[in-house]
Amino acid sequence: QVQLVQSGAEVKKPGASVKVSCKASGYTFTSYDINWVRQAIGQGLEWMGWMNPNSGNTDNAQNFQGRVTMTIDTSINTAYMEVSSLTSEDTAVYYCARGVAHSDNGGYIYYFDYWGQGTLVTVSS
């Protein structure tokens, strides 16, 4: 069965960086994008970006450009997401999610069918 298993909770000081991992199993890792989505406490879901494990192409949401780095190690089916220059506003649960992408007569299709369990990142001095 498809599984995305994320690394454990982190506590960081303002200005530091955090790197979260997401290990995939149960499917061909290079066939689907890995996306990152976060939910700050009391807030909604916020898409951060995606990375294609096959091509290495990435795209970040405008809010995160320049501060978020996504990488992938296909030898161990693991994706990583690093956020730099952390502030208290980055305190959130971070999820990885598998992206399903294709097209049909109705248009472009892109959604998330499997999600990791979430990683709580707390930024506090």
User: Which residues, listed in sequence order, are joined to residue 49 by a DSSP beta bridge?
Assistant: 36, 60
Query: Helix, strand, coil % (nearest 5) of the chain?
Result: 10, 60, 35
> From the CB of 60, what's the least distance to another protein, in Å?
9
Contact status: 50 vs another protein (CB under 8 A): yes
Q: Which of 12, 46, 54, 91 binds another protein (CB under 8 A)?
A: 46
Contact status: 108 vs another protein (CB under 8 A): yes
Contact status: 8 vs another protein (CB under 8 A): no
Judged by CB under 8 A, the stretch of 7-15, 64-72, 75-83, 107-115 that binds another protein is 107-115
Per-residue CA distances from 99 to 9, 28, 32, 88 (Å): 23, 13, 6, 28
Contact status: 119 vs another protein (CB under 8 A): no
